[in-house]
Amino acid sequence: MSGTVVEQAYEAVIGIECHVELKTVTKMFCGCRNEFGGDPDTQVCPVCLALPGALPVPNRVAVEHVVRAGLALGAVIPPFSKFDRKNYFYPDMPKNYQISQYDMPLVSGGVVRFRRDDGSEGSCRLTRIHLEEDTGKSTHMGSGDGRIAGSTHSLVDFNRAGVPLMEVVSEPELRSAEDAVAFLEYLRLTFLYLGISDVKMEEGSLRCDANVSIRPVGSTEFGAKTEIKNMNSFRSVGRAIESEIERQRNVIAAGGRVPQETRGWDEANGVTHSMRSKEQAHDYRYFPDPDLVPLTLAATWVDELRHGIGLVPIVAYERLEHACALAPAQLRQLLGDPALARFLLATVELHPDDGAFAQAAANWLLGDVLRILNERGTSIGAQSTLTPRTLAECAELAMGGAITSKTAKELLERVMSEGGSPKEIVQREGLAQLSDPAAVAQIVAQVISANAKSVADFQAGKENAIKALVGQVMKVSKGKANPQLAESLLRERLKQT
Amino acid sequence: MSAPHEWSATRIAAAVNAGEISAVEVLRAQQAQIERMEPEVGAFLSLTAGLAQEQARRVDEAVAAGRRLPLAGVPLAVKDNMCLQGTVTTAGSKILAGWVAPYTATAVARLLEAGCLPVGKANLDEFAMGSSCENSALGVTRNPWDLRRVPGGSSGGSVAAVAAREAALATASDTGGSIREPAAFCGVVGMKPTYGRISRYGLIAFASSLDQIGPIARTVEDAASMYDVMAGHDPMDATSLPRPVEPTARALRDDLRGLRVGLVREFDTKGLGVEIDAVYRRAYEQLAALGAEVVEVALPHAEYGLATYYLIAPAEASSNLARFDGVRYGLRVDGGSVQEMYGKTRAAGFGPEVKRRILIGTYALSSGYYDAYYVRAQKARTLMASDFERAFAACDLIACPAASSAAFEFGAKGDDPVAMYLMDYYTIPMSLAGLPALSVPCGFAGDGLPQGRELPLGLQLVAPLYEEARLFGAAHAYEQATRFGLDRVPPVLEGVR
């Protein structure tokens, strides 16, 4: 049997499970602050340490976050939901059960629509989204590499214990590593746009596992899947899935069978390795948590949340794509910053269906505006002097030739410092571009007579000398002369002499 | 003139509030009584003299400043499964021996706020699992009516302390009868409120959906006053009822006119022996004599109470007790691995009855058994609640025994757990239905003892959900008319060994 035949005959089936730490003031079931970092065991109380007698009280904002996530992804919000206990012993889980949701999650279904790097569309449905609590953090000491194997003892920090955690489970509908990464990216962006999580993989506020199997193309049955863990960036998710697909293909090509198991991603060596087989799986003995009452989600409340969803990234993408022809890198940059995308869309909406304006506004925003913000160490969302309307005015003034690009940049700096309407400033201070041929011709004549050397250079064939002359026209006109007009008048006059 | 330790809580509070006696003086008398009684009775696992003194001074200052406290200067025993900041809190278990609670249970905090003086932590069956107090791993409590007999359980220390005048009031908790059965055994008043009336925050959980804190007192009026202080919504307990509480101490009545009292067809008392049967028959007649209309009601599913309870309670317990793992607090027996440490710690820390229930509960929740046991038990529970609903359509209160016998001798139930479980035959159905119920002394049974040394029996009165005022009101009328709990004192008080 030849390897190439196998390679063509199999397709990958990928499902993603994501854990997202929710951004709330307090933890899921107690009043402790929900903050990343902090000295070990400084954000703890009787409840999140599971002291005898302590009881959980659910965080309403966390419930809201999950429902909003579901609504943003077009899911169904059932009228009832409940919390269950997932029982297993682990030293960093204080109660030795995790409060989670078993058969009545807050969110059912939903779909993540995404765009690939080449702009093509893809989508993957969700099975469910549920709410649970995070565990503490174990640090294994004495093994050198931080692994539990070979360690002499472990330290546990309970600051993270009880942090609200949202679990998103996808259907096994992804067919490539690229799609899995794009799916994750749009999921991440959705939560970023909703403001419900920091979604930082490096801080652990977004963690994901991938279920991977392969099957003959055309088959409707699933092959045995492996669950891949320990991926700490989207890049490693992509690499791990690719490597796992390859490994499974090789196993099958060699006539073997892929056992159902959990595998860990080894970033350094670029391979997955077996962690535990399915036969060692826990019986979690789920049952409804008797410390918590079932949740009733009033339709009016859900509707209220639905109306407050706002812009979601896939819609932002489509509207930006419709509005102007941006390079993929620009589009990614805009999408990645919800405040920036919202700002541009608000600007673009001031002149709907004006592609040139939209393009100019985008260029201004991604160019000079971002540069000035960076220089000032702030962000579009944190500043208030520049508004979509004033950015639009800058773009309009520059596009219509009413001011020179130099004036426009200065104007932008001013507006971003002091606020105000660029159009009014231009009018009030006479900053309008000089485009009257007679007036510019007068300055051109003046410059030609005062710059004999440059004139001679140009006439001797030094094409560059024209630039110096145009520069002089701009200087004399205090930057207001239309530079294209100045250049053409200069050429005309110098040809005549 | 009698000493303050013999007074009712109502009388103590009135005297302290009126400045006739100081809380410090009440405490001094109380501590002398505790010193006399403890060698015989052994109601307490630890005494909290320092805390009581501090609190007595605070109460005296408050009274001097013109404040009136509902339970000013009233000595209180706290069942040792309730957290009281700074006190050793053990739940009667070796696994928590020496553990100092860093916070105070809501119910206890409210009692302190009301002026109670916490004199000590009362003994109990380990984790409140038992009906005789013999399952305490840390101490033996004897029945003040006959020191060769058990005080009942699990709140054995609480009822013995109140009966032996070691405290005017005691907190107790009831999961399947742990307030009502021992109250009957020791001839005091014990009341279990509607589930959710009193916050469970700070009560070391046995079975969360059944556990309720309630008062122990020598008079119905005292129990009502104590209940009034403890009851009411607590934001720290998600299962605490958000509805307002009507004060019950002001709803006490002197007759039962206009009330229909239901006698349960399935609770025939003939099987309890001629002597006990006669006591209950007379009790029912006295209810009628007080003006109640006595009717017969049916609880057809009551016979499944024990079976249902012994699935649900252990299931919840198996999960609730998982936190006692040696990692964060309490006993730790080191092992070569964390699993070994868990195993050794829990093997050494838990007693046989606790282990039995953890095993039963783990089994009932296990995959493959869950539907057959836990789910069916929940269905039976629902049926039992509807039984009561139907019964209460025909009556306003139900009257029945509070226990299956009078107090028995130590070791009488031997190693037969089911014989012990049967003590709660009459109390479990109400627990499963979440109903308010109390035990009030209703006579004496000789059980072979000489005349004048007979053992008290308890009449259980049960009200519909939230009808605590009706319950206390009727119990007060019965108590005042019959005086069984008021006129006789336990022989140990008269120096009888």
The tokens for B415 are 């190693």
Q: Which of A259, A226, A266, A230 is nearest to A245 (CA)?
A: A226
Calculate the alpha carbon distances from A57 to A32, A101, A241, A290, B165 in Å: 12, 15, 39, 12, 38
Report how many Cβ contacts below 8 Å link chain A to chain B. 102
Mean pLDDT of B53-66: 98
Strand pairing class (A261-266; A271-277): antiparallel
The verdict on whether B131 is a catalytic residue reads no
Are the beta carbons of B101 and A53 separated by less than 8 Å? yes
pLDDT of residue A460: 87
Q: Which of B93, B158, B173, B178 is catalytic?
A: B178
In this structure, CATH architecture of domain B4-259+394-494: Alpha-Beta Complex (3.90)
The verdict on whether B192 is a catalytic residue reads no
Sorted by where each begins, the domain ranges of chain A are 3-301, 312-429, 437-496
pLDDT exceeds cutoff 70 at A278? no
Instruction: Report the alpha-carbon distance of residue A317 to residue A115 in Å, rounded.
Output: 9
Chain B contact set for A103 (CB, 8 A):
none
| Contact residues, chain A to chain B, C-beta under 8 Å | 46, 49-58, 85, 87, 89, 91, 94-97, 154, 156, 283, 285-287, 289-293
Are the beta carbons of A53 and B205 separated by less than 8 Å? yes
Residue of A nearest to B241 (CA): A293
Tens of pLDDT, residues A425-443 = 887 877 777 778 888 888 9
Residue with tokens 């089936």: A13
Chain A contact set for B323 (CB, 8 A):
50, 52, 94-96
pLDDT exceeds cutoff 70 at A8? no
pLDDT exceeds cutoff 60 at A497? no
Q: Three-state secondary structure along A329-368?
A: HHHHHHHCCHHHHHHHHHHHCCCCCCHHHHHHHHHHHHHH
pLDDT exceeds cutoff 80 at A4? no
Are the beta carbons of B315 and A287 separated by less than 8 Å? yes
Sorted by where each begins, the domain ranges of chain B are 4-259+394-494
Are the beta carbons of A290 and B209 separated by less than 8 Å? yes
Given CATH 1.10.10.410, say whether it is the number of domain A437-496.
yes
Mean pLDDT of A1-28: 82
List CB contacts of B472: < 8 A, sequence separation 6 or more.
B191, B220, B223, B224, B227, B248, B249, B251, B252, B438
Are the beta carbons of A94 and B328 separated by less than 8 Å? yes
Instruction: Report the alpha-carbon distance of residue B159 to residue A300 in Å, rounded.
Output: 50
Tens of pLDDT, residues B139-154 = 999 999 999 999 999 9
Average predicted confidence (pLDDT) for chain A: 91
pLDDT exceeds cutoff 70 at A496? no
Query: Counting beta carbons within 10 angstroms of the beta carbon of residue A456, is it exposed (0 to 12), middle (13 to 18) or buried (19 or more)?
Result: exposed
Tens of pLDDT, residues A62-88 = 999 999 999 999 999 999 999 999 999
pLDDT of residue A431: 74
Banded pLDDT at B495 (limits 50, 70, 90)? confident
Mean pLDDT of B324-338: 95
Mean pLDDT of A348-363: 91
Mean pLDDT of B117-133: 98
Minimal C-alpha gap between B205 and chain A (Å): 6
Q: Which of A121, A130, A111 is nearest to A171 (CA)?
A: A111
- Best probe of the A interface among B204, B318, B338, by most A CBs < 10 A, is B338
Banded pLDDT at A6 (limits 50, 70, 90)? very low
- Structural contact between residues B202 and B103, judged by C-beta atoms closer than 8 angstroms: yes
Tens of pLDDT, residues A142-185 = 887 777 778 888 899 999 999 999 999 999 999 999 999 999 99
Lowest-confidence pick of A128-137, A436-445, B101-110: A436-445
**Per-residue b or e along B54-92, where b marks 16 or more CB atoms closer than 10 Å to that residue's CB:** ebbeebbebbeeeeebbbbbbbbbbbbbbbbbebbbbbb
pLDDT of residue A1: 41
| DSSP one-letter code for B94 | G
Which range has highest mean pLDDT (A274-283, A419-428, B270-279)? B270-279
Tens of pLDDT, residues B351-360 = 999 999 999 9
pLDDT exceeds cutoff 50 at A386? yes
Calculate the alpha carbon distances from A317 to A114, A306, B369, B403 in Å: 9, 20, 50, 71
- Structural contact between residues B444 and B454, judged by C-beta atoms closer than 8 angstroms: yes
pLDDT of residue B3: 94
Residue A107 has phi, psi (to 5 degrees) of -135, 130
Helical (H) or strand (E) element with A86: strand A84-87
Instruction: Report the alpha-carbon distance of residue A74 to residue A312 in Å, rounded.
Output: 11
* Cis status of the peptide bond prior to B154, with omega within 30 of 0: yes
B11 residue type, one letter: R
The tokens for B431 are 């627990």
| Contact residues, chain B to chain A, C-beta under 8 Å | 81-83, 89, 91, 96, 99, 101-103, 105, 200-205, 207-209, 235-239, 315-316, 318-319, 322-325, 327-329, 338-339, 342, 362, 365-367, 370, 374
pLDDT of residue A408: 83
